[in-house]
Amino acid sequence: MRGVFLDINSVGPEDLDLDPLTTSLDDWSFHEQTSPGQVLQAIQDANIVITNKVPVDRDILQAANSLALICVAATGTNNIDLVAAEERNITVCNARAYATTSVVEHVFSMILALTRRHHDYRVAVGTGKWQSAASFCLLDYPVRELAGQTLGIIGYGELGRAVARMGDAFGMKILVAQRPGTRSKPETGRTPLSQVLAQSNIISLHCPLTGSTANLIDRNEFAQMREDALLINTARGGIVNESALSQALLAGRIAGAAVDVLSEEPPRHGNPLLDDSIPNLIVTPHIAWASVHARQMLINELAANIRAFLDGRPRNIVTASCH
């Protein structure tokens, strides 16, 4: 069996133990990165392909005659044509629960940076405001406590549940949104999205990017939010209309936002959220998941997926019907 990793640089292999992966197959080809035009040549004779963010579309799947398994080095699988994979009897597996702690810590680091006004006070100290203050402390920027605040969670899988547990530990009230795209009566314990938007002080996104979640948070949704609302997105950039978010922040429609994901990564062609004039916005370069421990767990998960497939017991299977 021959395996190909299309974008191994995306997991930062330099400080990881790759033995669990390299020993799962006898024949491996590791590519630092693969452009869309290089994918077919790279996987021509491959039986197993690993991709983090490199797209594998219908045309590639139809031409990859030896391909039996695609392992996505992430939880989200929006870079794979799942319908075409099913038609070709190609199994698709993702990685799960490898970065839960890392993502949750990043979510709350961004929430706290916004509620504690870290950037504003860092700038104030840097410009000498504290040094020239009449009192021992600066109170220029009001600080919010999390206890008693309402945390709205959109997407209640592994990550959403873990964020809810952490929010509960902070003494927050938790609202879990009805599944996007669901028109039926809300499930037990779920709240209609419109109510989550209207009632939450902080909204955290943890749903996959699908047809029903693309631009889920758009101008209409920002209009429903509280003026003191904070939006946190560590899911996928396409879930939020980035122009609408930029306008909402510039107009003071919401109080702040922090995003770890953008619709194009890297943002080579610019992005509305990279405008330095936007207030109360934190942008991090898709690193919420990327602790050393989480990246090692990812390698271990990929190896486990491959070994399970070879043993005839595939795990973490993703199909088009899942979305």
pTM: 0.91
Q: Tell me: do 131 and 242 sit in the same domain.
A: yes
318 with 245, same domain? no
**Do 74 and 217 belong together in one domain?**
no
Residue 65 CB neighbour total at 10 angstroms: 9
Same domain, 7 and 27: yes
Q: Is 179 a catalytic residue?
A: no
For the residues 160-169, what does the mean pLDDT come to? 98
**pLDDT score of 187 more than 90:** no
Active-site residue, selected from the candidate residues 144, 286, 295, 301: 286
> What confidence tens digit (pLDDT) does each residue in 118-149 have?
999 999 999 999 999 999 999 999 999 999 99
Give the helix/strand (H/E) hosting 247. Answer: helix 242-250
- Number of folded domains in the chain? 2
121 lies in the same domain as 56: no
- Does residue 184 surpass a pLDDT of 70? no
Work out the burial of residue 152: count CB atoms within 10 Å of its CB; fewer than 13 is exposed, 13-18 middle, 19 or more buried.
buried
pLDDT band at 183 (very low <50, low <70, confident <90, very high): low
Let me know whether 86 and 115 are in one domain: no
- Same domain for 123 and 9, yes or no, is no
DSSP state of 177: B
**What is the domain extent for residue 127?**
100-283
Same domain for 278 and 146: yes
Q: Region 11-28: what's the mean pLDDT?
A: 97
Whether residues 75 and 143 fall in one domain: no
Indicate whether 139 and 88 sit together in one domain.
Answer: no
Kindly report the average pLDDT of the chain as a whole number: 96
Per the annotation, the verdict on 286 as an active-site residue is yes
Do both 15 and 124 map to the same domain? no
Q: CA-to-CA distance for 99 and 293, rounded, in angstroms?
A: 8
| Structure tokens that stand for 158 in this block | 């592994």
What's the gap between Cα 232 and its chain centre? 10
pLDDT at 323 over 60: no
Q: Give the confidence band of 225 by pLDDT, cuts at 50, 70, 90.
A: very high
In the chain, % of residues over pLDDT 70: 98
Q: Can you give the CATH number for the domain in which 276 is found?
A: 3.40.50.720
Among 106, 236, 295, 301, the active-site one is 236
Give dist(CA 41, CA 176) in Å, integer.
44
When pLDDT is averaged across residues 247-272 and rounded to a whole number, the result is: 97
Q: 20 with 161, same domain?
A: no
Q: Is the pLDDT of residue 152 over 60?
A: yes
> Does the annotation count 187 as an active-site position?
no
